Chains A and B, each alone.
Chain A
Amino acid sequence: MVQQGHIVPYRTFILVWLTLMVLTVVTVAVSRLDLGAWKIWTALGIATVKSALVVFFFMHMKYEPLYYRIYLYLTLVILAIFIGLTFSDVHYRMTP
């Protein structure tokens, strides 16, 4: 039995890797700036882009059937619910 997955060319992987390297340097550089409350959102935003690159290219998500992506988004939505609804309590509490 021959398994027929998608073969991703090395060139794609190397381009993704270069982007990841650049983004790492960018996120470290940006963290030296004084952005106030935006600091954590910038850091998380860059991390999200990086993880999307890993998931879609390194992990072949781009080449999988649609329902794989739906399930991935479902997992992330559930995690977002866990964090978000916890804040419906935490954000409105007077003392920690």
Chain B
Amino acid sequence: MEESIKAAGSDDRGFLGGERGLRSWIFSTDHKRIALLYLWSIMSFFLVGMTLGFLIRLELIAPGATIMGAQTYNALFTLHGVIMIFLFIIPVVPAVLGNFLLPLHIGAEDVAFPRLNLLSWWFYLIGALMALASLFTGGGPPDTGWTFYVPFSTQTTTNVTVAAWAVFVLGFSSILTGLNFLTTIHRLRATGVTWNRLPLFVWAIYATAWIQLLATPILGLTVALIAIERIFQIGLFDPARGGDPLMYQHLFWIYSHPAVYIMILPGMGIISEIIPTFSRRRIFGYWAIAVSSLAIAFAGSMVWSHHMLASGMSDMGVFVFSLLTFLVAIPSAVKVFNWLATLYKGTIWLAPPMLYALTFLVLFSIGGLTGLVVGSAGTAIHTHDTHFVVGHFHYVMFGGAIFAFFGGLHYWLPKIYGRMYNLRLATWAWGILTVGFNLLYFPMFILGMQGMPRRYYDYLPQYTTLNVVSTVGSWILIAGLLLMLWNLWRGSRSGPPAGMNPWGGRTLEWTIASPPPKENFPGEIVVSTDPYDYHTGEGHS
């Protein structure tokens, strides 16, 4: 196998070479090119979302209207939420890294349905453009928050209808991606890639794909009902006409809670790849981590109403969902303990990907544990709709999912572009980012405990100090982000050649050239190695 693989690496531009021009990209069915289409479009929206977040924090630097009024603020936090959730975090890891790596990890030439894969990206693009269109058409940008709660969302004059259809189209993109990945994992594994030789990233993508498949249709239905409600006034959620507004919240969270696991599970998969590579040890508890991904996906479908503990749901509902919520903590903790056990006595190399992975462990644990505070029936009443919740989900989503994604970018960009970024600069960027992150979001826990509500452009003067700290934190965070992105961008354009396997990884993508050739592997391959086959005591080169 080894000699034939070397022969395939003769063209050092790999899949990046060959056909040129815009058409060769936007109509490409190569999973690697589609991954990059996603990378560039998703990162563009990330920058938009980041700018909106920056403006939100700037408004909150002092009480009263600082740079904008209430209506603008409402529109801004709605857009920040819609863009960051539907256009960034949900698709980013599966669509970018999943697309690039899944076929490589299982020794396949492409995904099962390459044209459907391209169609998914087009759906993403169309959905994104529709979301943008909702800003400038109809009655102005939506101001409902990203949750589109009734009755406000069915009555407000702002352009919720177009935004709802945008989410509907984005849902299609997500479903088709999940369908494609599930089929790929089932049908296209190379000979020798058995279920117990799948990299844990693939297991995470597999679990995620099931959630994309079985939860997203409910979102499609829910936002379609909002749009239909606004057009025809059918009254499905109107108590005067026999409907029930809480049923909207049920339907919305039946999807949107599992969606949290669409965001975090692939991130956990990245961590499961980075930690063994940079501690030179076989992953501890392979099956425990693989099965816990499935367990999180399954348990995640049973806890949605913990978002509604203060909504007026029945006491029995509050009790049942609060209890079930604690179930999810178990498989999450199983993962954390197995990662720690992998690190134990390992030969640890603190390269940038590993720094992000270790930061993930800390930030995700803080986010997860504060999640139990907001998910418990009693404490939820105190913290509900305060900045405590804002702090909690930014620790989970940003500190968890996005830090994992950044770790993954630092780990795999040298494979994708074949060039290495500046490691020193990357470490600095990581440091600035981490400091800024904690300054930005940690004060929110305290503010929330003290009673500062979320989604208001104004606050009482006693909250000023911590809000200033938080806003200054946002500046540091953005400085770190921009430095990181610039370093990665420059590195992938003009960095020194990274070589086939800069980190000493053991999964299949490290056995081929960087960037990988268009056809990935030379014909059908036979795999006889384990993805975590590290000899104990082997150092880093």
Q: Measuring CB to CB, which residues of chain A are less than 8 angstroms from any residue of chain B?
A: 67, 74-75, 78, 81-82, 85-86, 88-94, 96
List 22 interface pairs A-B (beta carbons < 8 Å), by A numbering. Answer: A75-B214, A81-B301, A81-B302, A82-B254, A85-B304, A85-B321, A85-B324, A86-B247, A86-B254, A88-B316, A88-B317, A88-B320, A89-B246, A89-B250, A89-B308, A89-B316, A89-B321, A90-B314, A92-B315, A92-B316, A93-B313, A93-B317
Assess whether A88 is in contact with B214, with CB atoms less than 8 Å apart: no
- Residue B177 at the A interface, CB < 8 A? no
Q: How far does the alpha carbon of A78 sit from the alpha carbon of B324 in the complex, in Å?
A: 15
- Residue B305 at the A interface, CB < 8 A? yes
Interface string of B100-113 (1 = CB under 8 A from A): 00000000000000
Assess whether A92 is in contact with B244, with CB atoms less than 8 Å apart: no
* 8 Å CB interface, B212-247 against A: 214, 218, 239, 244, 246-247
What 15 additional pairs, Cβ within 8 angstroms, besides A67-B186, A88-B317?
A: A78-B214, A81-B301, A85-B304, A85-B324, A86-B250, A88-B321, A89-B246, A89-B308, A89-B313, A91-B314, A92-B314, A92-B315, A92-B316, A92-B317, A93-B317
Q: How far does the alpha carbon of A27 sit from the alpha carbon of B250 in the complex, in Å?
A: 32
> Chain A residues with Cβ under 8 A from B246's Cβ?
89
Q: How far does the alpha carbon of A93 sit from the alpha carbon of B245 in the complex, in Å?
A: 14
Known: A88-B321, A89-B246. A82 touches B313 (CB 8 A): no
Q: How far does the alpha carbon of A24 sit from the alpha carbon of B135 in the complex, in Å?
A: 51
Chain B nearest CB from A48 CB (Å) reads 20
Q: How far does the alpha carbon of A93 sit from the alpha carbon of B247 in the complex, in Å?
A: 13
Chain A nearest CB from B223 CB (Å) reads 17
Q: How far does the alpha carbon of A93 sit from the alpha carbon of B311 in the complex, in Å?
A: 12
> Chain A residues with Cβ under 8 A from B186's Cβ?
67
Q: How far does the alpha carbon of A78 sit from the alpha carbon of B321 in the complex, in Å?
A: 16
Q: Which residue of A lies closest to B213 (CB)?
A: A75
> Chain B residues with Cβ under 8 A from A93's Cβ?
313-314, 317
Interface string of B19-34 (1 = CB under 8 A from A): 0000000000000000
Assess whether B214 is in contact with A89, with CB atoms less than 8 Å apart: no
> Chain B residues with Cβ under 8 A from A81's Cβ?
301-302
> Chain A residues with Cβ under 8 A from B302's Cβ?
81, 85
> Chain B residues with Cβ under 8 A from A94's Cβ?
314
* 8 Å CB interface, B293-335 against A: 301-302, 304-305, 308, 313-317, 320-321, 324
> Chain B residues with Cβ under 8 A from A85's Cβ?
302, 304-305, 320-321, 324
Count of B interface residues, CB-CB < 8 Å: 23
> Chain A residues with Cβ under 8 A from B301's Cβ?
78, 81-82
> Chain A residues with Cβ under 8 A from B250's Cβ?
86, 89
> Chain A residues with Cβ under 8 A from B313's Cβ?
89, 93
Q: How far does the alpha carbon of A81 sit from the alpha carbon of B299 in the complex, in Å?
A: 10
* 8 Å CB interface, B316-372 against A: 316-317, 320-321, 324
| Residue from B244, B315, B316 having most chain A Cβ neighbours under 10 A | B316
> Chain B residues with Cβ under 8 A from A75's Cβ?
214
> Chain B residues with Cβ under 8 A from A90's Cβ?
314, 317
Chain B nearest CB from A31 CB (Å) reads 23
> Chain B residues with Cβ under 8 A from A91's Cβ?
314, 316
Q: How far does the alpha carbon of A90 sit from the alpha carbon of B251 in the complex, in Å?
A: 13
Interface string of B147-176 (1 = CB under 8 A from A): 000000000000000000000000000000
Known: A82-B254, A96-B244. A89 touches B218 (CB 8 A): no
Interface string of B31-67 (1 = CB under 8 A from A): 0000000000000000000000000000000000000
Assess whether B254 is in contact with A89, with CB atoms less than 8 Å apart: no
Query: B210, B218, B308, B324: which contacts A82 (Cβ < 8 A)?
Result: B218
Assess whether A89 is in contact with B305, with CB atoms less than 8 Å apart: yes
Q: How far does the alpha carbon of A40 sit from the alpha carbon of B280 in the complex, in Å?
A: 61
> Chain B residues with Cβ under 8 A from A82's Cβ?
218, 254, 301
Q: How far does the alpha carbon of A77 sit from the alpha carbon of B376 in the complex, in Å?
A: 26
Q: How far does the alpha carbon of A82 sit from the alpha carbon of B432 in the complex, in Å?
A: 43
Q: How far does the alpha carbon of A95 sit from the alpha carbon of B153 in the complex, in Å?
A: 24
Q: How far does the alpha carbon of A96 sit from the alpha carbon of B243 in the complex, in Å?
A: 9
Q: Which residue of A lies closest to B317 (CB)?
A: A89
> Chain B residues with Cβ under 8 A from A74's Cβ?
210, 214
Chain B nearest CB from A71 CB (Å) reads 9
> Chain A residues with Cβ under 8 A from B214's Cβ?
74-75, 78
> Chain A residues with Cβ under 8 A from B304's Cβ?
85
Q: How far does the alpha carbon of A89 sit from the alpha carbon of B247 in the complex, in Å?
A: 10
Q: How far does the alpha carbon of A12 sit from the alpha carbon of B244 in the complex, in Å?
A: 46
Q: How far does the alpha carbon of A67 sit from the alpha carbon of B186 in the complex, in Å?
A: 10
Q: How far does the alpha carbon of A89 sit from the alpha carbon of B246 in the complex, in Å?
A: 10
Q: Which residue of A lies closest to B319 (CB)?
A: A88
Q: How far does the alpha carbon of A77 sit from the alpha carbon of B308 in the complex, in Å?
A: 23
Enumerate the 10 nearest inter-chain pairs by beta-carbon distance, A residue then B residue, closest first.
A89-B317, A92-B316, A92-B314, A88-B320, A93-B314, A89-B313, A88-B317, A89-B314, A78-B214, A86-B250
Chain B nearest CB from A79 CB (Å) reads 8
> Chain A residues with Cβ under 8 A from B317's Cβ?
88-90, 92-93
Q: How far does the alpha carbon of A35 sit from the alpha carbon of B89 in the complex, in Å?
A: 51
Q: How far does the alpha carbon of A93 sit from the alpha carbon of B305 in the complex, in Å?
A: 14
> Chain A residues with Cβ under 8 A from B314's Cβ?
88-94
Chain A nearest CB from B225 CB (Å) reads 15
Interface string of B181-204 (1 = CB under 8 A from A): 000001000000000000000000
Chain A nearest CB from B319 CB (Å) reads 8
Chain B nearest CB from A18 CB (Å) reads 34
> Chain A residues with Cβ under 8 A from B315's Cβ?
92
